[in-house]
Amino acid sequence: MQDRSLSYLLLVPAFLIVLATTLYPLAYSLVTAFREWDLTKQRRPGDFVGLENFGHAFTEPGFQNSLWVTTIFVLTSVALTLVIAMSLALLLRRKGKMHTFTRVILILPFAMSPALIGVSYRFMFNPEFGVIAKGLGAVFPALDGTPWLASPDLAMAILVLTDVWHWAPYMTFMCLGGLASVPRETEEAARIDGASTLRIIFGIVLPQMRGVLLVVAVLKTIFALKMFDQVVTLTGGGPGTSTETLAFFIFNVGFKWYDMGYASALAWILTAIMMLISIWYVRMLLSERKMATA
Amino acid sequence: MSKSVFWWVERALLLLISTIVLFPIAWMFLTAFKRPRDAYSLSLDFSPTLANFATVFADPWNLGDMVLNSVIVATVTVLIAVPCASLAAYSFSRFRVKGRKFLFFLILSTQFIPAVVIVLPFFLMFRSLGLLDTRIALIIVNLAIVTPFVIWMIKGFIDAIPTDSEEAAMIDGASRLRVIRDIVLPMAAPGILTSSIFCFILTWNEFLFALILTRRDAVTLPVGLVSFRTERGDLWELMSAAGVMITVPIFIMALLIQKHFTRGMTAGAVK
- Please say if the pLDDT value at position B268 is more than 70: no
**Inter-chain contact B91–A99, Cβ cutoff 8 Å?**
no
**Inter-chain contact B88–A13, Cβ cutoff 8 Å?**
yes
pLDDT, one tens digit per residue, over B46-98 is: 888 899 999 999 988 899 999 999 999 999 999 999 999 999 999 999 887 67
Kindly identify which residue of chain A lies nearest to residue B100, measuring between CA atoms. A8
Least Cα separation, residue B90 to chain A (angstroms): 8
Least Cα separation, residue B207 to chain A (angstroms): 6
pLDDT tier at A169, thresholds 50, 70, 90: very high
Residue B270: per-residue pLDDT: 38
- Please say if the pLDDT value at position B267 is more than 50: no
pLDDT, one tens digit per residue, over B159-186 is: 888 888 888 888 888 888 888 888 899 9
Overall average pLDDT of the A62-69 stretch: 94
- Residue to mutate among B111, B116, B150, B257, with most A CBs inside 10 A, is B116
Of A17, A233, A275, the CB nearest to B84: A17
Q: Is B9 on the interface with A (CB under 8 A)?
A: no
Q: Is B16 on the interface with A (CB under 8 A)?
A: no
In chain A, residues with a C-beta closer than 8 Å to the C-beta of B11 are 98
Q: C-alpha distances in angstroms, A2 versus B171, B176, B177? A: 15, 9, 11
Overall average pLDDT of the B119-124 stretch: 92
- Residue to mutate among A9, A17, A39, with most B CBs inside 10 A, is A17
Of A91, A116, A255, the CB nearest to B246: A116
Residue A149: per-residue pLDDT: 92
Of A107, A123, A226, the CB nearest to B255: A107
Please return the burial class of B90, using the count of CB atoms within 10 Å of its CB with bins 0-12, 13-18 and 19+.
buried
Residue B262: per-residue pLDDT: 63
Q: C-alpha distances in angstroms, A72 versus A65, A69, A76, A222, A240? A: 11, 5, 6, 14, 16
Least Cα separation, residue A102 to chain B (angstroms): 6
Q: Is B239 on the interface with A (CB under 8 A)?
A: yes
Overall average pLDDT of the B211-237 stretch: 91
Q: Is B196 on the interface with A (CB under 8 A)?
A: no
Q: Is A4 on the interface with B (CB under 8 A)?
A: yes
**Inter-chain contact B239–A228, Cβ cutoff 8 Å?**
no
In chain A, residues with a C-beta closer than 8 Å to the C-beta of B175 are 1
Q: Is A282 on the interface with B (CB under 8 A)?
A: no
Overall average pLDDT of the B182-197 stretch: 91
Overall average pLDDT of the A186-196 stretch: 86
ipTM computed for the complex: 0.90
Q: Is B146 on the interface with A (CB under 8 A)?
A: no
Q: Are B90 and B158 in contact (CB under 8 A)?
A: yes
* SS3 state at A138: helix
Q: Which residues contact B16 (CB under 8 A, 6 or more apart)?
A: none
Residue B202: per-residue pLDDT: 92
- Cα A80 to Cα A163: distance, rounded to the nearest angstrom: 10
Q: Are A78 and A214 in contact (CB under 8 A)?
A: no
**Would you say the pTM of this structure is higher than 0.95?**
no
Where does chain A have alpha helices with state H?
3-9, 12-18, 24-33, 52-59, 61-92, 97-105, 107-111, 114-124, 131-139, 152-180, 185-192, 197-200, 206-208, 210-226, 229-230, 246-255, 260-293
Closest CA to A227 of A159, A151, A171: A159
- Please say if the pLDDT value at position B269 is more than 60: no
- Cα A72 to Cα A76: distance, rounded to the nearest angstrom: 6
**Would you give the distance in Å from CA B189 to the centre of its chain?**
19
Q: Of A9-13, A207-211, B164-168, B262-266, where does mean pLDDT reach its minimum?
A: B262-266
Overall average pLDDT of the B126-137 stretch: 94
Overall average pLDDT of the A272-281 stretch: 86
The greatest distance separating any two alpha carbons of chain A, rounded to the nearest whole angstrom, comes to 76
Least Cα separation, residue A148 to chain B (angstroms): 17
- Please say if the pLDDT value at position A290 is more than 70: no
pLDDT, one tens digit per residue, over A36-60 is: 888 888 777 878 888 888 988 888 8
- Residue to mutate among A8, A15, A21, A24, with most B CBs inside 10 A, is A21
- Please say if the pLDDT value at position B1 is more than 60: no
In chain B, residues with a C-beta closer than 8 Å to the C-beta of A170 are 264
* SS3 state at A280: helix
Q: How many CB pairs under 8 A join A and B?
A: 257
Which of A 46-85 lie inside 8 A of B, CB atoms?
none
Write down the mean pLDDT value for chain A: 89
Kindly identify which residue of chain B lies nearest to residue A197, measuring between CA atoms. B6
**Inter-chain contact A25–B123, Cβ cutoff 8 Å?**
no
